[in-house]
């Protein structure tokens, strides 16, 4: 995955997966807000009508599958049900989701089989939603942010690209960079700052 900051883009999706799931979207240099300031709520796209109940009250939202708290709930539930994983020894009762995400990363480095399956579970859901974002917003850059994306950012970026080939309209004509927030933060800030300034001084 590209780790060099990409500057001066006017079409950005900043895809954040942490305690919640959402996106900051810049299209044609304009920061999108929506009529009620809810633009970019990718976390509340229903990906499985029979899935877990989300905090918003709907069932099967993306956020109910791959947000930090959702991943923690899944890990603890799977371990309680008898799943074998080194995470059972690593995770403490008072660990916050950020701490558990870091321990999941450690387990992946040790090729823990359960953790590898969980990584694939996240990659599947993340890549599907990224494809939806591309079809909706037509970005040239996707920035992967948040402590869940940081678990395996390169791996997730690879899966997103594979998903584009089957689920993004006219994918072959697009040039979309995928960067991690550790490099992409500056791209986001510059892009959003440019969008805000352009909105302030635009002559209609």
How far apart are the C-alpha atoms of 38 and 41, rounded to whole Å? 6
Q: What angle do CA 101, 86, 73 make, to 5 degrees?
A: 45
* Domain 12-201 in this protein, CATH class: alpha beta
Look at 21-35, 90-104, 105-119, 146-160 and tell me which has the smallest mean pLDDT: 21-35
What is the per-residue pLDDT for 158?
A: 95
Q: What's the token pair of residue 201? A: 């001084």
- Predicted confidence (pLDDT) per residue in 58-99, tens digit: 999 999 999 999 999 999 999 999 999 999 999 999 999 999
pTM of the model: 0.85
- Extract the tokens encoding 115: 């953790």
Residue ranges covered by each domain of the chain = 12-201
Angle at which helices 97-109 and 68-80 cross, to 10°:
60
């Amino acid at each position: 995955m590209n780790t060099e900051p990409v500057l001066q883009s006017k079409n950005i999706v900043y895809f954040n997966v942490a305690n919640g799931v959402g996106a900051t979207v810049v299209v044609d240099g304009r920061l999108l807000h929506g009529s009620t300031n809810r633009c970019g709520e990718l976390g509340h796209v229903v990906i499985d009508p029979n899935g877990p109940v989300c905090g918003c009250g709907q069932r099967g939202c993306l956020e109910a599958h791959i947000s930090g708290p959702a991943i923690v709930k899944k890990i603890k539930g799977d371990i309680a049900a008898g799943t074998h994983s080194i995470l059972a020894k690593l995770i403490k009762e008072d660990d916050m989701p950020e701490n558990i995400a870091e321990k999941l990363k450690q387990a992946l480095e040790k090729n823990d089989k359960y953790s590898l399956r969980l990584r694939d579970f996240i990659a599947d859901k993340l890549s599907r939603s990224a494809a939806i974002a591309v079809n909706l917003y037509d970005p040239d850059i996707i920035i992967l942010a948040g402590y869940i994306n940081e678990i395996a950012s390169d791996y997730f970026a690879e899966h997103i690209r594979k998903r584009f080939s089957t689920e993004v309209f006219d994918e072959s004509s697009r040039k979309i960079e995928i960067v991690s927030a550790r490099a992409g933060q500056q791209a986001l800030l510059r892009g959003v700052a440019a969008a805000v300034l352009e909105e302030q001084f635009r002559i209609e």
